[in-house]
Structure 1
Amino acid sequence: MRTNTARAVDLLVVLALLTAVTGAVAGCGSEKAGGHGARVGDGDPAPESEARARQVADAWDGSKAAETWRKGYYPLGETVQLPENAFRNGADKLAYGTRNFVLRGGLPATPQKDGKVKWESGGSLTLPLMGARKAYETVARGSNDGPHLTVTGAKLGEMTLATSRGPATVPAWLFTLEGYDTPLKRVALSPSKLPRPPIKPVGEVPTDELAPLGRLVGMAADGRSVTVMATHGACDDGPAVDVLETGGSVVLSASVVGTKDGPCTSQLLGEEVTVTLDRPVGDRLLLDAFTGRPVPNEENGPSPSQ
């Protein structure tokens, strides 16, 4: 007999892998909307969830960690941008999904030591420039005989993306793909070091009432909505996300609705949930109530020291 508690332990194990590996979860996506203090799902937020979200917001507000975050470079948008009108066919789409690339020819040497982040709102930050080889290896993770994309060259250019301080222009490697007129772009900078959170995680084991988010999937161009990967088990009605907006942060609390007692498999399912906000994220921190940390993405997962 498997209970919800046993299933929660299984979720914790897989969640650790989920935050380390992009796209590790499987499930069907959905778009749901919520607002200030609202639950994205069925029912009202649990009192414990609301209280925890407020604790996290209060801990970060005016903290040294928040000051460090607002001075650094933390991408919130996709650090890889696809060629225009990608993809030509299903095989190419599959190749990108499995990150199966072939390099034909060499990659250029890094022309300079540093690169600069330039924010649309003003200000800039100089960071070490990532080499073309390392940038390529962050994109090309597969190696098999299946469908593949062929990279024939690269040059240093720029791209724009959402960051914790608003839209920014950053250096990027522009990889030429065989069969495409426009390049695949990959940011040529690594994010700043994460600050140490001013509050500890709520606990070690997620529950149906509060669990860690999988990762940040994306943010709308106007900053009025964010999409996150929320997880749930095979014996419930799916995930819910509570939202607490303050002047300095947006705290997201993930939970599971419609849980059932009795036998249950230990599957972990992922579902994309889109949360609509009362106003744009701007430079507010996007926080996970369970961990007390910024919502992780493929570039900005929690460091081992945390």
Structure 2
Amino acid sequence: MRSVKLLVVTGLAAASTLGCGDAATPGGDRAVVGTERAREVAAAWTGSEAARVWRQGYYPLGDAVQLPDKAFHDDNDKHAYITGNFRLEAPLPGTTKPEGEVRWSDGRSLTLPLTTARSAYDELARGGNSGPSLRVTGARLGTMTLLTSRGTATVPAWLFTIKGYDTPLKRVAVTPGKLPRPPIGPVRKQTAALGPLGGFEAVAGNGRTLTVRADHGACDDGPAVDVLETQDSVVLSASIRGVSDGPCTSELRTEKVTVKLRGPFGRRILLDAFTGRPVPYRQPGSASPSWS
């Protein structure tokens, strides 16, 4: 178990009493709470039916959208994408087949229902304002590579041609599987010693560095994330350091936290000690997880 360093504050979320008005939790006590719970979660998942379903399913750990090369040409194009302002200038193709195949680097595959080009386009085009727009001049079914719970995979994707760009904008054409029922329930009460993570964002450093989101309040020293590594899983325990016992504003702050692993993340299950569930991927800038 090791505490990890923090990166910069990335923003504010809805009001909360996290870290406000609670007695400060000593670092040692905080670590003990997280360690005991992490061991329980790891033991519950090892050899469980949920772990079996997880390892046989499709659960993305990367963005559903991949931008064209050299995107964006200017601030107008960037603003159009962020605001979901697209303009369709060509008919969208129908789905030529009902299913598509996800293929992993080890040769294994999974057949899943395909989404339509229209539904993929509608996920992108959520704006519709009078400002700058990205002009879609065509679409076809292709593939893209994406990090998943079972490693990097080649997945079906709709490839949208954007006027002015040499390569297409890609959006995944299959949806994640249903999350298996966890073999252990969540902790009943959130405290400074243990709370839920805000999501997973990235893996880097040859698989030994994870970036996750963690919340804290306005009157503390920020979040800490401890890690328990086993052969089958990586269990993260989020807590809050230096909680004040005086009055403070009801404010929830979210920070990116880097977690250093002893061994590569690989295909181990990334688990949240508080919820007892896999940590969902959250696209930067989005409040929606990759699965529910």
Q: Are positions 1:140 and 2:125 aligned together?
A: yes
The amino acid that maps onto 1:236 is D
1:32-47 to 2 correspondences below 5 Å? 37-41=1-5, 46-47=31-32
Q: Are positions 1:186 and 2:171 aligned together?
A: yes
Q: Are positions 1:195 and 2:185 aligned together?
A: no
Which position in structure 2 is the counterpart of 1:108? 93
| Higher Cα radius of gyration | 2
Q: Are positions 1:226 and 2:216 aligned together?
A: no
Match of 2:262 among 267, 278, 300: 278
Q: Distance in 2 between matches of 1:221 and 1:159?
A: 22
1:207-246 to 2 correspondences below 5 Å? 207-220=191-204, 222-246=206-230
1:112-160 per-position Cα deviation (integer Å, ceiling 9, x unaligned): 1100011101211101011111112223333333443332221111111
Q: Distance in 2 between matches of 1:239 and 1:146?
A: 39
Q: Are positions 1:287 and 2:271 aligned together?
A: yes
Q: Distance in 2 between matches of 1:265 and 1:108?
A: 52
TM-score normalised to structure 2 length: 0.85
The amino acid that maps onto 1:178 is K
1:61-210 to 2 correspondences below 5 Å? 61-203=46-188, 205-210=189-194
Equivalent residues, number:
265
Q: Distance in 2 between matches of 1:235 and 1:88?
A: 42
Q: Distance in 1 between matches of 2:272 and 2:168?
A: 34
The CA deviation at 1:222 is: 3.4
Q: Distance in 2 between matches of 1:223 and 1:193?
A: 25
Which position in structure 2 is the counterpart of 1:262? 246
State whether residues 230 and 270 of structure 1, in contact with CA within 8 Å, keep that contact through their aligned partners in structure 2. Answer: yes
CA shift in 2, pair 1:160/1:246, >3 Å:
same
- What SS does the aligned partner of 2:36 have? helix
State whether residues 214 and 223 of structure 2, in contact with CA within 8 Å, keep that contact through their aligned partners in structure 1. Answer: yes
1:197-248 per-position Cα deviation (integer Å, ceiling 9, x unaligned): 0000011x42211111112112227322221121122222222111111000
CA shift in 2, pair 1:185/1:222, >3 Å:
farther
* CA-based RMSD: 1.9
Q: Distance in 2 between matches of 1:96 and 1:241?
A: 33
Which position in structure 1 is the counterpart of 2:233? 249
State whether residues 178 and 291 of structure 2, in contact with CA within 8 Å, keep that contact through their aligned partners in structure 1. Answer: no
Q: Greater shift after overlay, 151-160 or 101-110?
A: 101-110
Identical residues among aligned pairs (%): 61
The amino acid that maps onto 2:239 is S
The amino acid that maps onto 1:38 is R
Which position in structure 2 is the counterpart of 1:60? 45
CA shift in 2, pair 1:91/1:122, >3 Å:
same
The amino acid that maps onto 1:200 is G
Q: Greater shift after overlay, 46-55 or 93-102?
A: 93-102
